[in-house]
Amino acid sequence: MTQEEAKRIYLKNGCSAFFMARGEDRYEEFREMHIPKEKLEEWATEYLKGCIDKISVKETMDNFSSANLVIGEHHTRDNLNVFIDMLQNLKFDNEVTPYAVCYSILGMRNLKVNCGILDYAKESKDEELYRSLLEFTRVLIEKIQIDDEKKQVVDEMKELLSYYK
């Protein structure tokens, strides 16, 4: 397998070792190449930017979910900055809703696992990045239109947000 083939397979699987290990016929061959982590991060950043380019054309849950999955596995400062810039430019006029974005940012606190994008930003030790995302999330939650059906969801998000200082 060439490095270009490895890259194609990696990108095809959303830069996810999980997806590759479970569905890629050539996973063992890929794994035996011992591609440096830095190279995988470079490819993941390229993939993330491609997802974000698609989101800027059409805000769909598929594109947003793909970008979100990359951040889940490859939450470098550069990737977090690119992702946060994308979030701040979302119009929320299609499938990407403020609810999905807030849950991605906040993660699921009740699992006692740091799995939200806000957790990754905090772990990055980049205070400006963390504060920027925290403020973005607060503002977004306040902008959500609340009806009776969604009041409980918004209250849960506000409770999740209260864990962050």
Sorted by where each begins, the domain ranges of the chain are: 75-161
Is residue 35 predicted with pLDDT exceeding 90? yes
DSSP state, residue 142:
H
Residue with tokens 């918004």: 154
Task: Please say whether the dihedral angle defined by the alpha carbons of residues 99, 105, 106 and 108, taken in this order, is positive or negative.
Answer: positive
For 58, residues 6+ apart whose C-beta sits below 8 A from its C-beta are 94
Residue 43 or 159, more confident: 43
pLDDT-derived band at 40, boundaries 50, 70, 90: very high
Q: What is the pLDDT of residue 25?
A: 81
- pLDDT tens digit sequence for 74-102: 888 898 998 888 888 887 776 668 888 88
